Structure 1
Amino acid sequence: MEGNPNIELVNSLQAQMESLRERINQLETENAKLSRQLSVCVCQKIAVSDKTPVDCSSSIGEMEMLKLDEIGLLNRSKDKEPAAGGNAMALHHLPKRYVALKVMYFGQRFYGFASEAQMDPTIESEIFKALHKTRLVSGDRKELQYSRCGRTDKGVSSVGQVSVISLFLRSNLKKTPASNGYSVESFAEESCDGEIDYVKILNRALPNDIRIIGWSPARTDFSARFSCLSREYKYFFWRENLNIMAMESSGKRFIGEHDFRNFCKMDAANVHNYRRYITSFEIFSCNERYGDDELWAMKIKGSAFLWHQIRCMVAILFLIGQGLESSNVIDELLDTERTSRKPQYKMAPEIPLVLQSCEFDGLKFKCSSDARQALRAHLEKECRSYKLEAAIFHEGLLSCSTTFSDSTQLNITTKKKGPTHIPLMSRPTEPSYEERRAKLAAARSNNYN
């Protein structure tokens, strides 16, 4: 008698289910074994693509790596961050150390350093893409104990001694990691021998306008934000007809501790103390000329700065350099009892502003000879590229000069006069700090009711 087809189908499905259960148990056993092996594995090369080899100094071989891939512990996607599941689980067992990274970037195409405004791209978002792509991190930023110093606004650059971030990164340290997965040997200088070349690896994954130029071991209680002793900015400008001596003497008035609420974009919701300490102010020639003009720079150093503070200070100095305001206007704006409401004025442009240095105690940044050579070659190439762009624009300028007759050029240059300057202290003002706080309190009260 022929069997019942329904019963045969049920028996077949049950057999397949049993086979799948056995395969799951087998993979779980292999997973546990590989996790124990990974806890002592030190990866020398990272799998950033299907074509990039993985070279481990442990006993994990090619077949084991394929098994990891099969059960989802390796995420080889080039464009997406690794999932919070399997891959993070594998990396969690690897030794880690607390590291400070020194970062430089050309900020023209970025929406500032931080990712909080939900605008892309930012310096921070690009750095974390590279960190995940190179498998140097796992977990969220809180778990990584991430902090940053020298946060910059849209368009602002950071070069030279530059901005610093700190976080836990995967390490070549062979000591057994602590119970939380992080090595406590994070600051020992001797433990840097044989370490992962963080600079070289990250720079291969970062876009051309962001570079890591050094790394330093750091104590686990180090904070890139709160351990910073001072910050130094440079603002570049063409001299044109500016009175440099008047600007220099006026800039010295900023030195010392003052209330800078009239020299910033006020954030009454988060900032309650607007006193900041400026330690030095300099203005100097950069020995760079363009025709009859000369490139100059202001250098301003302080313990910390408010939102848009540097650009507001520079804007006032430009008005003084043009002879539109006297040096006394700085004293009037710093006297917040006399001038409690900030006059409306336009900030200086963001592109010429550069975060030059952040000073820390105890950090010794290092960069391998290979990474340093690659970094120098990259920067020289980028410099030539920007000079090539400048040459093209210069040719366009020469072309315009030969296109129009002298009389036409004269009409262009004399057609309009600049707007009449309204003295700062006679302009409309912004709401005071107290008025902003009262408005915030009223809004919260209305929302609560």
Structure 2
Amino acid sequence: MEEDQGQDTEMRLAFRIGYWGDGFYGSQVQAEVRTVEGEVVAVCRKLGLFDDPREARFAFAGRTDRGVHAAGQVCAFTTDVPERAVAALPYELPADIWVTGWAEVPDRFSPRKEAAARTYRYFFEEHPGDAALMDEAAQFFLGEHDFSLLSRRSERSPVRRVHAARVYEEGGFCVFEVSAAGFLWNMVRCMASALAAVGRREKEPEWVRTLLRGEGERRVAAAPPGGLILTDIAYDFEFTPLAPSPKAEGALFRREKDFRVKVRVNEALRSFFSQ
């Protein structure tokens, strides 16, 4: 990316970002609360990448709910200082947001409309039980279905096409992974709840098919948001990798260390129950 002196260097850029969702009221900008979009826009303004996000056509690929995390969210904006954007944005973002890649994209690029697929992973807080049975049930999600009973009610069409779905075990956790062109509000978390009921043998795998036929008595409740990660959004181009800032890496390391200490303290406290 070369900058010619005295010439207009306006360019549209896409950035692949990640974030730890606990500190945000979701990704979409809202008044008077902290959001991922709000933080990114504020840093872009501070760096002089643009003044008005509407004029820069700033956009995210999609929304994530409060407490949901991301490794592969994508935002895009147009700026006349693209070199500054690539060099400075990763280092000026708060520690719970980081950049892992960037790309120059066409002027009309929309990160939401041009996404070929989105992939989520849900880590169950407690292992539901039978992962093989859950994986069998997950296969009913494949193809085009009405997810009215597996999503939050909205004005959008409840029909979605799922490309891939599986349940597997990793590092002692039970994980649900699903890919689709797009998802409804709470859809992945509702799907996870349904699979958990199958894993606990409260429901048979075939029950998932009945939900997709609209034959359930009520909507399935969404699983807690803390286990959900937006892992990837696919496009017809590749991102140039960028290493997360030392600030972001350090924050994740400290959070992991803090969790380990809290787990150990919790175990020690419980040991006194039997004394």
TM-score (norm 1): 0.57
The separation in 2 between residues aligned to 1:154 and 1:203, in whole angstroms, is 23
Cα gap change, 1:238 to 1:354, in 2 (>3 Å): same
| Code of the aligned partner of 1:135 | G
The separation in 2 between residues aligned to 1:152 and 1:376, in whole angstroms, is 23
The CA deviation at 1:145 is 2.1
Cα gap change, 1:214 to 1:228, in 2 (>3 Å): same
The CA deviation at 1:245 is 1.2
The separation in 1 between residues aligned to 2:158 and 2:141, in whole angstroms, is 14
Instruction: State the structure with more CA Rg.
Output: 1
Matches within 5 A, 1:30-429: 95-115=9-29, 117-138=30-51, 140-159=52-71, 162-171=72-81, 196-238=83-125, 240=127, 242-268=129-155, 271=156, 273-286=157-170, 288=171, 294-336=172-214, 338-339=215-216, 343-361=218-236, 363-367=237-241, 372=243, 375=244, 377-405=246-274
Question: Given that residues 246 and 327 in structure 1 are in contact (C-alpha distance below 8 angstroms), is that contact kept between their aligned partners in structure 2?
Answer: yes
SS at match of 2:271: helix
1:154-198: CA deviation from partner (whole Å, max 9, x where unpaired):
111101xx1111110123xxxxxxxxxxxxxxxxxxxxxxx6153
1:86-105: CA deviation from partner (whole Å, max 9, x where unpaired):
xxxxxxx9631111111111
The separation in 2 between residues aligned to 1:246 and 1:345, in whole angstroms, is 18
Higher fraction of strand:
2
The separation in 1 between residues aligned to 2:58 and 2:266, in whole angstroms, is 47
The CA deviation at 1:404 is 2.3
SS at match of 2:263: helix
The CA deviation at 1:243 is 0.9
Cα gap change, 1:241 to 1:214, in 2 (>3 Å): closer
| Code of the aligned partner of 2:19 | Y
Cα gap change, 1:344 to 1:225, in 2 (>3 Å): closer
The separation in 1 between residues aligned to 2:150 and 2:128, in whole angstroms, is 24
| Code of the aligned partner of 1:309 | M
Cα gap change, 1:312 to 1:119, in 2 (>3 Å): farther
Higher fraction of helix:
1
| Code of the aligned partner of 1:393 | K
Aligned length, in residue pairs: 273
The separation in 1 between residues aligned to 2:32 and 2:134, in whole angstroms, is 36
The separation in 2 between residues aligned to 1:119 and 1:304, in whole angstroms, is 28
The CA deviation at 1:356 is 0.6
The separation in 1 between residues aligned to 2:138 and 2:83, in whole angstroms, is 45
Question: Given that residues 189 and 222 in structure 2 are in contact (C-alpha distance below 8 angstroms), is that contact kept between their aligned partners in structure 1?
Answer: yes
1:411-435: CA deviation from partner (whole Å, max 9, x where unpaired):
xxxxxxxxxxxxxxxxxxxxxxxxx
Higher relative contact order (CA 8 A, sep 6+): 2
Cα gap change, 1:168 to 1:380, in 2 (>3 Å): closer
The separation in 1 between residues aligned to 2:58 and 2:260, in whole angstroms, is 41
Cα gap change, 1:241 to 1:331, in 2 (>3 Å): closer
Cα gap change, 1:226 to 1:114, in 2 (>3 Å): same
Cα gap change, 1:99 to 1:241, in 2 (>3 Å): closer
SS at match of 2:109: coil
The separation in 2 between residues aligned to 1:135 and 1:385, in whole angstroms, is 31
SS at match of 1:399: helix
The separation in 1 between residues aligned to 2:92 and 2:245, in whole angstroms, is 17
SS at match of 2:225: coil
SS at match of 2:161: strand
The CA deviation at 1:241 is 5.4
The CA deviation at 1:201 is 0.3
